Amino acid sequence: MTAIVKHRKSTQREAILEAIRTRGGHSTADQIYEAVRLKHPRISLGTVYRNLRMLCDQGELREVNTDHGYGRFEIAGHPHYHLVCRRCGEIEDCPLPVDKSLEHRMQALTMFRVEQHRLDFIGLCCKCQSLAQT
């Protein structure tokens, strides 16, 4: 693992973290940018992207990638799985607990040193299911 470099706090990074907390996580960079611009109108999209990457590198944020071509960001907290809608791209936290035994089983099968794992369940959210029935 690489060493995590801690950067001093900045108003911009704090505003980005607050925007994600307020939105409830799973926000795109564009959504975060629009939320932060309300309080910091001079911030650029590039600055938001750089700070998102830095916060991910520091372990304060986690990026959740989808097949929709853009990442979504959430506060890094307890490990959890995700439910990803294949139609609209929305992401929800999954209520199933993380199964740490999968890491041990994979390591025993492959001799690969597993440090963590991610799991996404792909399907249709309730909203998209109801749209498909109309």
Which residues of the chain does CATH 3.30.1490.190 include? 79-134
Which segments of the chain are extended strands (E)?
27-28, 61-65, 71-75, 82-85, 91-93, 120-123
**Encoded tokens for 57:** 């590198």
When the candidates are 3.20.20.70, 1.10.10.10, 3.30.360.10, 3.40.250.10, the CATH number that belongs to 1-77 is: 1.10.10.10
pLDDT in tens, the chain (134 residues): 445 555 667 899 999 999 999 988 799 999 999 999 999 999 999 999 999 999 999 999 999 877 766 789 999 988 999 999 999 888 999 999 999 999 999 999 999 999 989 899 999 999 999 987 76
pTM: 0.79
- Which superfamily, per CATH, for 79-134? Ferric-uptake regulator, C-terminal dimerisarion domain (3.30.1490.190)
